Amino acid sequence: MNLDDAKRLDAADPLRSLRDLFTLPEGITYLDGNSLGALPRATPERIRRAVEQEWGQGLIKSWNTAGWIDLPRRLGDRLAPWLGARPGEVLVADSTSINLYKVLHAALQLQQGQRRVIVSERSNFPTDNYIAQSVVRAHGGELILAESPEEIPPLLDERCAVLMLTHVNYRSGRMHDMGLLTRWAHQAGALAVWDLAHSAGAVPIDLLGSAADFAIGCGYKYLNGGPGAPAFVWMHPRHEGQVWQPLTGWLGHANPFDFDSDYQPAPGIQQYQCGTPPVLSMTGLDTALDVFDAAQKLGGIKALRNKSLALTEAFIGGVEERVPGAAIATPREAALRGSQVSFSLPRDVDGYAVMQALIHQGVIGDFRAGDPELLRFGFAPLYNGFADVARAVDVMGDILDKRSWDAPEFTNRNKVT
């Protein structure tokens, strides 16, 4: 695809107006929205208003007058339709890791000690497996890691308490069949916990339709809530009232402002809130969700998914044509592909240095160490277009042709890769 073809496709894109809702630096091709979403244009002014008016003038009154206290549930209700959930079922609070600890603990409690094995993938995002290790230590259980998706079904046996998976794998971009794997887990007597960090806002999700048990995810990737934006947590309503989550903080109390000395859990998902909501970061996420309201009027998640598949397909084709020796790690089959493309380079090419050279020329993706090392490019259909695909492929091909990546300023590794 040349740049002229790409521009024609962008001109015909029914979602093209959404790009104008973001602040994107001139001359930058940003393909890292699966790691940190771009800045919505309205966010700085909205946060400024929260700081100067709600905090500066309203002071503590703003817990009531500006609705600060209701942000976790209100944001959850806004997010719910994009997760295949209903209003009242999703809570925005804490971080992905903390929420995962809560739901894994609750899931093992639901098993009443009869099963203590958590099954996941070795290639799962490390924090998920680290948290699972902590939970099984506390419960006297075991974490078993599949080496590949094909190894998962045999591990769903009479010992398995929980199947814990990330819907879209952070390294490869492979997307699991949530409904199928949840059904297999239930048939084995296990519960299914899903991490939606690399899914929410980019691919269709149907938590209720899939009969999942718990789900968590973050607000700063495809949801564009800003660095460190709060995460979300969901529990299937069938589990309501059966167990307590372990972090019994005051705002998870049924009546927090009664200031009782004994904990009584709030009903439903409210119990999964611990402490005071981070108002400024929640304000950023709240503003970011306005963009999804605009997207809903242009076809919603179906339109976003169609564009995502077209962008990733075009990028895969461009890489295969322009980058000799590239080994695509992301599935070509649409049903198995999230909204990113990852690939490795021949072993005599330093993938980290190639990514740094790309960034130096204004094409921003990211690098993931491991075996193999992967260059990873996320496509956010809200703001990425086909011109981004064409420029990224062209710049990358030029860097590899000239071996311009092989320079000290690119090979010295930064703290954050």
Residues 6+ apart with CB under 8 A from 297: none
Catalytic residue among 19, 73, 116, 221: 221
Enter the tokens of residue 95.
């971080």
Of residues 173, 213, 218, the one with CA closest to residue 194: 213
Catalytic residue among 376, 377, 383, 388: 376
Catalytic residue among 77, 195, 213, 388: 195
Of residues 221, 267, 218, the one with CA closest to residue 95: 218
Q: Is residue 195 part of an annotated ligand binding site?
A: yes
Q: Is residue 383 part of an annotated ligand binding site?
A: no
Q: Is 176 left (phi over 0), alpha (psi -120 to 50) or beta?
A: beta
Q: Is 221 a catalytic residue?
A: yes
- Report the distance separating Cα 93 and Cα 252, nearest Å: 11
Q: Is residue 312 part of an annotated ligand binding site?
A: no
Enter the tokens of residue 348.
């005599």
Catalytic residue among 101, 220, 292, 343: 220
Q: Is residue 411 part of an annotated ligand binding site?
A: no
Q: Is residue 261 part of an annotated ligand binding site?
A: no
Catalytic residue among 30, 101, 125, 170: 125
Q: Is residue 198 part of an annotated ligand binding site?
A: yes
Q: Is 367 a catalytic residue?
A: no
Task: Work out the end-to-end distance of the chain between its first and last CA atoms, rounded to an integer number of angstroms.
Answer: 29
- Report the distance separating Cα 408 and Cα 255, nearest Å: 59
Positive or negative: CA dihedral 178, 167, 211, 80: negative
On whether the CB atoms of residues 234 and 207 are closer than 8 A, the answer is yes
Enter the tokens of residue 149.
């998706």
Q: Is 388 a catalytic residue?
A: no
Q: Is residue 125 part of an annotated ligand binding site?
A: yes
On whether the CB atoms of residues 35 and 221 are closer than 8 A, the answer is yes
Percentages of the chain per state (helix, strand, coil), in multiples of 5: 45, 15, 40
Q: Is 386 a catalytic residue?
A: no
Q: Is residue 23 part of an annotated ligand binding site?
A: no
Say whether the peptide bond before residue 204 is cis (omega within 30 degrees of 0). no
Residues 6+ apart with CB under 8 A from 302: 204
**How many helices, marked H, and strands, marked E, lie in the chain?**
14, 15
Q: Is 170 a catalytic residue?
A: no
- Report the distance separating Cα 77 and Cα 271, nearest Å: 16
Q: Is residue 32 part of an annotated ligand binding site?
A: no
Which DSSP helix (H) or strand (E) runs through 144? Answer: strand 142-146
Enter the tokens of residue 141.
């259980």
Q: Which residues are annotated as a binding site for pyridoxal 5'-phosphate?
A: 96-97, 125-128, 166, 195, 198, 220, 250, 276
Binding site, residues?
A: 96-97, 125-128, 166, 195, 198, 220, 250, 276
Q: What amino acid positions are annotated as catalytic residues?
A: 125, 195, 220-221, 376
